Amino acid sequence: MKIYKANILFTKEKNQFEVIENGYVAVEDGRVVRVGQSLAELNVGDAEVVDFGDSLLIPAMNDMHVHAPQYRNQGIAMDLELIPWLNNYTFPEEAKYCNEEYAERMYRRFVRDLWRFGTMRTVAFATIHEQGTRLLMNLFRQAGMGAFVGKVDMDRNCPDSLVQDVESAVRANEALIAEFNRPDDLVRPIITPRFIPSCTPQMLKACGELAKRYNLPVQSHLSENTGEIAWVRELEPQSKNYGDAYNRYGLFGQTPTIMAHCVWTDGEELELMKQNHVMVAHCPTSNLNLASGMAPVRRFLDEGMWVGLGSDISGGHDLSIFRMIVYAIQVSKMHYQKDRTKPFLTLPEAFWLATKSAGQFFGKVGSFEPGYEFDALVIDDSALNHDNYSLLHRLERFIYLGDDRHIVRRFCRGQEISEPEV
């Protein structure tokens, strides 16, 4: 057992921070045993106390939607909307990942930079390439950081170099599943049909069957852009809506499912998501950069939907989930500005989305309640703390102004994580 002492902040409930000034958290076998104001209150017997002084101790970040192979394109090519952006920038880049040397060089930087920004759990798209996907999974494993990594499945409406026939796709998935699908492992596979326009009905069917057969989670994209939605309506005329197209193939909550964006999700699609407990990965920077729109997150929360945040590199330009918290609040303020009956997101709500709400996808992750895996960041904000700020204001300032320089220690499942090699 280890006991950490610091200023502890986390969100047990959606709209309120737990704040324990100079508090203690006891950790054993990777999980929080107890958290409290004093050692006496912890009552866990003798154990080493690690004192983080005046630093803040908060749950680590979870990135619920990111494309690892688009890492090179981060922060460039913001001049197009979704479909031409995919064709002009994204697909050509992903095609390069058949080259393992290139894939390794880029993926190493990607994993290192997730580490820098305090993201200890990630749900990532790789590419169609089995070996590249394996490589990324092994890099997460070596780093000790948690991830669901998806080999991307796609067989239409993309360059020939990214088309893979259904049989080869299934074979590649099964090889990775055999190697990585162990329930307690930090790094696991996730079934990843790119999105409806990239997948024939045969591919979607095969993906649904894989998810069912191996009881694996699913990730994809949903209702991001109005042009995309119209296209899906043409491609899947028998489906009631975009979400229903996934649902018909067993890819919409039959196993735990994340759908990125949901900017335009409404009506029956929204009802189906609720009913099937499908998670929304809200990606506000991506939605702004690709001029997709602004997802109605307040509405999702009012409806009791499950929501996490995603950086969506390279539609998004920022890998920091702290920045996603800021943008999520800002986007919700633009909704509020049009309809003042629906309040904008508060800081604890957005923090909760990034930690406890998102973390549920990985098990008990994202909080410091007893039984939760200890995924944590130590924040030394002394450089930002130049007047008498409350702990809550210190956290708010770190989230709005801080960066990787202020994150001084990182833990995933109880282990301290050191900087991954590039």
Listed residue (373, 369, 372) closest to 412, CA to CA = 373
Give the nearer residue to a second copy in terms of CB position, either 46 or 387. Answer: 387
Q: Does 393 bind a second copy (CB under 8 A)?
A: yes
Give Cα separations from 137 to 178, 185, 202, 321 (angstroms): 13, 11, 27, 21
Does residue 379 belong to the site contacting a second copy (CB under 8 A)?
no
Q: Residue 79 or 165: which CB sits closer to a second copy?
A: 79
The pair of three-digit structure tokens given for residue 131, joined into one six-digit string:
């070996």
Pair type for strands 407-412 and 376-379: antiparallel
Report in angstroms how near the CB of residue 353 gets to a second copy at its nearest: 16
Q: Is there a contact between 269 and 242 (Cβ–Cβ < 8 Å)? A: yes
Report the distance separating Cα 340 and Cα 122, nearest Å. Answer: 34
Distance CA 395, CA 143 (A): 27
**Binding-site member from 177, 400, 414, 415 for a second copy (CB under 8 A):** 400
Supply the minimum distance, in Å, between the C-beta of residue 389 and a second copy: 7
Distance CA 236, CA 242 (A): 8
Q: Applying CB under 8 A, which part among 43-51, 303-311, 331-339, 363-371 lies near a second copy?
A: 331-339
Chosen residue from 184, 267, 304, 386 binding a second copy by CB under 8 A? 386
H/E element holding 178?
Answer: helix 166-180
Kindly state the smallest distance separating residue 291's Cβ from a second copy, in Å: 4
Between 22 and 346, CB nearer to a second copy: 346
- Nearest-angstrom CA–CA distance, 395 and 397: 5
Q: Which two tokens stand for residue 84?
A: 């031409």
Which of these segments, 125-133, 206-214, 281-289, 368-376, binds a second copy (CB under 8 A)? 281-289
Helix, coil or strand: residue 127: coil
- Among 149, 326, 353, 358, the residue binding a second copy under the rule CB under 8 A is 326
Single out the residue of 29, 403, 419, 421 in contact with a second copy (rule: CB under 8 A). Answer: 403
Q: Which residue type is seen at 68?
A: A
Q: Report the alpha-carbon distance of residue 110 to residue 94 in Å, rounded.
A: 14
Please select the residue that binds a second copy; options are 239, 330, 360, 415, rule is CB under 8 A.
330
Interacting residues with a second copy between 2 and 41 (CB under 8 A): none
Helix (H) or strand (E) holding 204: helix 201-213
Measured from the CB atom, the residue of 314 and 355 that comes closer to a second copy is 314
* Shortest distance in whole angstroms from residue 111 CB to a second copy: 14
Please identify, among the stretches 34-42, 126-134, 240-248, 322-330, the one whose residues bind a second copy according to the rule CB under 8 A: 322-330
Binding-site residue total for a second copy (CB under 8 A)?
A: 40
In the numeric block, the tokens 């080869």 are attached to 168
Shortest gap between Cβ of 110 and a second copy (angstroms)?
Answer: 10
109 binds a second copy (CB under 8 A): yes
Nearer to a second copy, 144 or 402 (CB): 402
Give me the least distance between CB of 405 and a second copy, in Å please.
Answer: 8
Interface with a second copy includes 349 (CB under 8 A)? no
% helix, strand, coil for the chain, step of 5: 40, 25, 35
- Determine which residue in the list 194, 317, 356, 410 makes contact with a second copy, applying CB under 8 A: 317
Laid out side by side, the sheet with 306-309 consists of 218-222, 257-261, 279-282, 306-309
67 φ, ψ (degrees, to nearest 5):
-100, 100
CB of 105 to a second copy, least distance (A): 8
Site for a second copy in 73-102 (CB under 8 A): 74-79
CA distances from 184 to 97, 101, 187, 261, 268 (A): 29, 30, 9, 28, 35
The contact set with a second copy (CB under 8 A) reads 72, 74-79, 106, 109, 285, 288-294, 317-318, 326, 329-330, 333-334, 336-337, 344, 346-347, 384, 386-387, 389, 393, 396-397, 399-401, 403
